Amino acid sequence: MQFRRRSLGAAALICALVPASAMAQTTPPRGPDEGKGPFNKLVIRGVNVIDGSGGTVQGPRDIVIENNRITEIRSAGTPGLPMNPNRAPFDADHEVDATGMWVMPGLVDEHVHAAQGGSPLTYAYKLWLAHGVTTVRGVNLTNNTAAVRDKAASERNEIVAPRIINYQRPGSGWSGGSPNTPEKAREWVRWASVNGVDGIKFAGTGVDQDKRVLEAMIDEASKLGLGTTMHHSPPVYPEVNALETGRMGLGTVTHFYGHFESILKDGRTHPYPDDYNYSDEQSRWRHVAKVIDYTFEPRSPEWWAYLNEQKANGVTFGPTMSVYEAGRDLMRARTQEWHRLYATPGIWKFWEPNRNNHGSFYYDWTTADEVSWKRFMARYMMLVNDYKSIGGRVAGGTDAGFIYSLYGFAQIRELELMQEAGFTPHQAITAFTRDAAKTLMEPKGITDPEFGMVRVGQIADLVIAPENPLANFKTLYGTGTGRLNDATGKIERVGGVRWTVRNGVVYDAKQLLADVKAIVDAEKAAGGCAGIDLNWSAAGPCGTPPADTPPFPTPTPTPTVVPEPTVVAGPPGPPGPAGPA
């Protein structure tokens, strides 16, 4: 997604990349009760290990962490038998009793933004950590100054936040004027490389709509160790598609844009109706799904040729399926149960149908639109899964903060959608951990990242959960999932991340969610719900508890005459016992 408001002129583009509220935000320092550690020696006891490689689970294990590094992974016993008592090491400063729980690498998200709806950065940070997200690639997260500040503070454990990889849009943060020529473009990339920028996010709607500028930036970024990712917006199709930017050396194709345009039977874009207007977002989203009617068929020679060439180009696919789910089922996206507790009124207002806010496009979304998007998403999932199957890299990403997709919860939904696409649970986790970490670090020349796996020598970025995520990703949602207790006959909530370890600091995931709830409640108490139509928005944070569905008008009852019942005497009963004398 892009932060740009459609009504803004080109001169205001760079300032509009993030909400104005984010420009002046200061992330609060980590408090004394926020997280424990890092410790000289921390031991996590008795866990089953999903290491992120895609291999088999091993457990029970004790994980030894010194400062922020995993130094040992020790056997704690044999499955099905009592764990060995009195296990070394005996000199830990802190222990986490995770007996019988599951540990996996912290999730690594290749595509995030923050501060939508005026929400504070710490709101997104805590939702991410509460769901085990320990690294994010902001594209962009916020303005460069704030991103560089929080990136450094996170590495020092001074704020409660995941690791931040800072990507910016062309020209962002620079006082040298618009980088609208190849020479100026290279100059901005050189400036970015020494001003805290890790990579560049292209969209093809600004100076990067010019193929010469785009190619110059990709080339210069590659020389200087900066990564590149691109949302191939439709205005850029006359210039380039995803295959052509892959040949230029682009690192990641994020979203679905540009893929299908690379396998069209004819032309550089599919036909649009005469009244199509890219700036009308409902029109844009309505017609983007129709591209599959004009491409070569799945598994055709052209399909495989595209995928094989992108693999040879070293391109990563970042699907971000969860943010587009409203296209195929708007009601599902709007009524997810966590919105009532954890969506701020501001972000809810941003999401509701609105011609100004990016992504709030469903002004009159129809059954036909959803059917079209169901077909499109099925084809897109097939493309992504086939790329994975031939050895192409797919990295987990979400683009949450738009279209009823909430930070943290979106990462878990993306895991589910990867499984729907054909990934095994192990493959989905690998895409969201090891492979995403490689995508973020390889531009820097680092082929073996120090995060993204549960291995000795790795940074301690971990997710600890009481339920097996391989059996059910739903158990990772902060709200858990329902399970019938046969002993009581009642449905119970189970799951949720229990602890997230980020850079050696142990965070209580439940407390992080309570902190987020406090942010939501404070905004509501300050009048944040003003102007929200509760007849339409009862599923959001301002609906009146305990109602779970929108209120329905109560019809005036029609009087009904009920006849008096006919009383029929029965036979006499036996005499009762004698009373007291």
Query: Rounded mean pLDDT of 298-309?
Result: 98
The SS3 of residue 337 is coil
Query: CB atoms < 10 A from the CB of 176, how many?
Result: 10
Query: Rounded mean pLDDT of 338-365?
Result: 93
- pLDDT tens-digit map of 158-193: 999 999 999 999 999 999 999 999 999 999 999 999
CB contact at 8 A, 60 and 114: no
CB contact at 8 A, 524 and 158: no
What would the two tokens of residue 501 be? 């370890």
pLDDT band at 14 (very low <50, low <70, confident <90, very high): very low
Q: What is the pLDDT of residue 24?
A: 52
DSSP string for 220-242: HHHHHT-EEEE---GGGTTT--H
Q: What is the pLDDT of residue 536?
A: 82
pLDDT of 391 strictly over 70: yes
CB contact at 8 A, 286 and 234: no
pLDDT of 123 strictly over 90: yes
Angle at 472 between CA 121 and CA 504, to 5 degrees: 45
Identify the weakest region by mean pLDDT among 154-158, 393-397, 539-543.
539-543
pLDDT of 372 strictly over 80: yes
pLDDT band at 7 (very low <50, low <70, confident <90, very high): very low
Q: What is the pLDDT of residue 506?
A: 98
Q: What is the pLDDT of residue 544?
A: 67
Q: What is the pLDDT of residue 62?
A: 98
- pLDDT tens-digit map of 493-547: 999 999 999 999 999 999 999 999 999 999 999 999 999 988 888 889 998 663 3
Identify the weakest region by mean pLDDT among 21-25, 80-84, 187-191.
21-25
DSSP string for 365-406: --HHHHHHHHHHHHHHHHHHHHHHHTT-EE------SSTT--
What would the two tokens of residue 557 be? 């009852």
Angle at 392 between CA 388 and CA 395, to 5 degrees: 75
CB contact at 8 A, 170 and 48: no
Q: What is the pLDDT of residue 371?
A: 98
pLDDT band at 211 (very low <50, low <70, confident <90, very high): very high
Q: What is the pLDDT of residue 25?
A: 74
pTM above 0.95, yes or no: no
What would the two tokens of residue 217 be? 């930036």
Q: What is the pLDDT of residue 535?
A: 81
Phi and psi at residue 180, to the nearest 5°:
-100, 15
- pLDDT tens-digit map of 107-118: 999 999 999 999
The SS3 of residue 504 is coil
pLDDT of 573 strictly over 90: no
pLDDT above 90 covers a percentage of the chain that reads: 85
CA 261, chain centre distance (Å): 25
What whole-number distance in Å separates Cα of residue 237 and Cα of residue 544? 46
pLDDT band at 567 (very low <50, low <70, confident <90, very high): very low
Query: Rounded mean pLDDT of 462-475?
Result: 98
pLDDT band at 21 (very low <50, low <70, confident <90, very high): very low
Residue 384 vs residues 237, 417, 428: alpha-carbon distances, Å: 21, 11, 12
Query: Rounded mean pLDDT of 330-353?
Result: 96
pLDDT band at 563 (very low <50, low <70, confident <90, very high): very low
Instruction: Give the chain's mean pLDDT.
Output: 91
Q: What is the pLDDT of residue 510?
A: 97
pLDDT band at 22 (very low <50, low <70, confident <90, very high): very low
* C-alpha closest to that of 343 among 112, 111, 118, 526: 118
Query: Rounded mean pLDDT of 238-265?
Result: 98
Query: Rounded mean pLDDT of 53-65?
Result: 97
How buried is 225 (Cβ within 10 angstroms: 0-12 exposed, 13-18 middle, 19+ buried)? Answer: middle
What whole-number distance in Å separates Cα of residue 268 and Cα of residue 274? 17
Query: Rounded mean pLDDT of 142-147?
Result: 97
